[in-house]
Structure 1
Amino acid sequence: MTNKNSLSKNNPFLLRPVGKDYLWGGNRLNDDFSKGIDLQPLAETWECSTHPDGLSTVASGPFAGQTLRDVLRSHPEYLGTHPQSADGELPVLIKFIDAKRDLSVQVHPSDEYAMQNEDGQSGKNEMWYVLDASENAELIYGFNRPIDRETLRKSLADGTVEHYLRRVQIHKDDVFYIQAGTVHAIGAGALIAEIQESSNLTYRMYDYGRVDKYGKPRTLHIDRALDVARLDGGENPRQPMRVLRYTPGCASELLCRCKYFVVERMLINTKRIRRMACVSTGTNSFQVLLCVDGCGVAFPEGGDALPFFRGDCLFLPADSVPVRLHGYAQLIKVSC
């Protein structure tokens, strides 16, 4: 029997993702996370998204079956008072990425450039958390030396650009912040959780001469990429200092804090204690809990239990009821 309080507007709810079948994807999102999405390959799942290119859907509670975008437009207070959470639109997009093959070398524009040149869209700053990586997996992060615009253009045309790209080995549990303007690519063998601005603006610079499923080369965006790319080389990316904080049943650490989002990792383990971990939101921001390992149960105060499993995504509206967490799981918590 459903508890009447379970229909409270402040209760959390599960989300259902939309999938993307980009040519570089694999099978792990179905195999490891039981997504049940009939795409081959399954390259990405957009777990929490109000972007028109991929709308996630509410999977539990009174809003089940509605898109998250429609729910937030009807209840903009769910976003909170943070200035980035304006006009009933979710300011972030959260996804899983399975790179069976190398992604294209690409770059994203800043908010300012996108506002002026992409009909007022947001730019794209993003963060990657490495869930798994094969032995030799790597990513591309900027250039290994300063390069000028014309040299870069020529190297893209003649296929020698790889000589200028900085390659970085990656390992499970690594964190990378990819600022707009940083030329980058995820390499083959990486399984990633990505938190980004709500944007789908990607300027593809180089794609290894590949063709799509119709036998045509994928579109490149050389001029706009050159407009926004940082060419100074920059420094090697360094892992942030991470400090675990302990509360009963939970250890947590900050992974990234920037203008656009705050990302933490939570390790839930209530197998041997009688006091559960607890999360709640204030009026400032919603929270998203992405389960990247293990499983558990969320108990909203006065509401129905929500079991969650590896790969599930839970949305907590701003000013939500307190939610107790029981289980053995690793969660990525995102707020703004």
Structure 2
Amino acid sequence: MNTLYPLKFQPLFHYRIWGGDKLRTVLNKDYSENNIGESWEISTVPGNESVVSKGSLKGNTINELIKEYGADFLGENVLERFGTDFPLLIKFIDAKTPLSIQVHPDDVLAKKRHNSFGKNEMWYVMGADKDAELIIGFNKLLDKKSYKASIEKGDIEEALNKVKVLEGDTFFIPAGRVHAIGAGVMIAEIQQTSDVTYRIFDFNRVDEKTGATRELHTEQSVDAIDFNLIDNYKTVYSLSEANNKLVHTRYFKTNILNIQGNISLTVSKKESFKILICIEGDVDILYQNKMEMLNRGETILLPASLDYKVLISATNAKILEVYI
């Protein structure tokens, strides 16, 4: 059995009707197809399993590693809670044009309808064109009846809450919250392992590849939506420390590491694996007298097994640290 080590995976690129080219031109992703909207960095979604890209475990999928290493890979607490189901999906998303207006079901509804996790997620804005916006929630109180009437009338856009964004803005999007990424926004997305999306409205556009409009899920969405209003959807956080709390939920915990020199991280077999997403600058990850470089737009997974510390070194960089 090979010894586990910090693992990089081959990104999985996905065509999207709204996709652009920033994943290639800004994050240096290696692909040639046009309209690539998503780079799945770490995934166990069926048909989209991430494969280790280098080292002695090159070519292994995450599920194969979980089967072979169990708690050494996941962490004892993660294995106890989720079994061998890997709980997270990590993406970069580039929206040249707006995504559809959508909503995701929670764990209960997703399990009942799709035998899937629900989809709670968070967004970290990695880049935003001038006046770029996100849609998050509603701007007025609706209920199921008034929502369906607005969909039938075709004026649901008027009820949507729009937020102008800048690089560094962060949002937690719980299951049930209506949302969409606007044109000119590039984000890092952390979410539960789920590919279940209910599309509410898609601006009546036609997919050039298929020549058809995309399916809407009006009836399914009604029971999934949380109609409550919130005053402020943006996550407030600080960069005053080296390791700063960003979004902590029962589904995942995310900190932002503001690295101006060296920072030490502990990975514990008792607790959880850790995922590091480089969102600014480049860093050197030092572990067991070895080194791995992590560049902006790259993601690495630190298995739980070794109860080890990693030393991250940079002069000016930021990393999202994700764990369960």
Kindly state the Cα deviation for residue 70 of structure 1 after the two structures are TM-superposed: 1.8
| 4+ long deviations beyond 4 Å | none
Question: Is 2:10 the partner of 1:19?
Answer: no
The answer for the alignment partner of 2:228 in structure 1 is: 232
Q: Find out whether 1:168 has 2:163 as its counterpart.
A: yes
Map 1:60-75; keep pairs closer than 5 Å: 60-75=54-69
Q: Which moved more, 1:154-163 or 1:216-225?
A: 154-163
Equivalent position to 1:208, from 203, 211, 225: 203
Q: In structure 1, what residue type is equivalent to 2:37? A: A
Residue by residue, what CA displacement relative to the aligned partner does 1:166-219 show, whole Å, maximum 9, x if unpaired? 111111111101111111111111110111111111000000001112110101
Q: Secondary structure at the match of 1:24?
A: strand
**Could you report, residue by residue, the CA deviation over 1:30-83 in whole angstroms, capped at 9, with x for unpaired residues?**
111111023311101111111114222212221112222222222221111225
Cα offset, 1:87, TM superposition: 2.4
2:200 maps to a residue whose letter is M
Q: Which has the higher strand share?
A: 2
Question: 1:158 Cα shift?
Answer: 3.1
Q: TM-score, normalised to structure 1's length? A: 0.89
Aligned to 2:74: 79
Q: Which residue of 2 aligns with 1:248?
A: none
Is the Cα–Cα contact under 8 Å of residues 243 and 254 in structure 1 kept in the other structure?
no
Give distance in 2, aligned partners of 1:70 and 1:175: 33
Which residue type is aligned with residue 326 of structure 1? S
Are residues 1:47 and 2:33 paired? no
Following the alignment from structure 1 to structure 2, what is the Cα–Cα distance between the partners of residues 210 and 286?
41
Partner of 1:256: 247
Mapping of 1:290-301 within 5 angstroms? Answer: 290-301=277-288
Q: C-alpha distance in 2, partners of 1:83/1:34?
A: 32
Structure 2 contact 7–300 (Cα < 8 Å) conserved: yes
- Aligned pairs, how many? 317
1:307 and 2:293 aligned = yes
1:335 matched residue in structure 2: 323
Residue of structure 1 equivalent to 2:144: 149
Shift of 1:116: 1.2
1:184 maps to amino acid: H
- Uncovered stretches (5+) of structure 2, i.e. residues with no partner: none
Task: Work out the CA distance in 2 between the residues paired with 1:33 and 1:264.
Answer: 21
Secondary structure of 1:228's counterpart equals coil
Give aligned-pair identity as a percent.
34
Residue 95 of structure 2: aligned partner = 99
| Structure 2 Cα separation of the partners of residues 23 and 280 of structure 1 | 41
1:273 match: none
Q: Which residue of 2 aligns with 1:267?
A: 258
Segment of structure 1 superposing worse, 42-51 or 226-235: 226-235
- Runs of at least 5 residues in structure 1 that lack an aligned partner in the other structure: 1-6, 246-250, 271-275
Partner of 2:302: 316
Whether contact under 8 Å (1:130, 1:191) holds in the other structure is yes
- Does 2:30 align with 1:36? yes
- Any idea what SS the aligned residue of 2:280 has? strand
The one-letter code sitting in structure 2 at the alignment partner of 1:324 is L
| Letter matched to residue 10 of structure 2 | R
Distance 1:69 1:319 in 2: 16
Task: Work out whether 1:133 is the aligned partner of 2:128.
Answer: yes
C-alpha distance after superposition, 1:260-298 (max 9, x if no partner): 11101112233xxxxx42222112000001111211222
User: 2:265 is matched with which residue?
Assistant: 279
- 3-state SS in 2 of match to 1:14: coil
Q: Equivalents in 2 of 1:90, 1:202: separation in Å?
A: 19
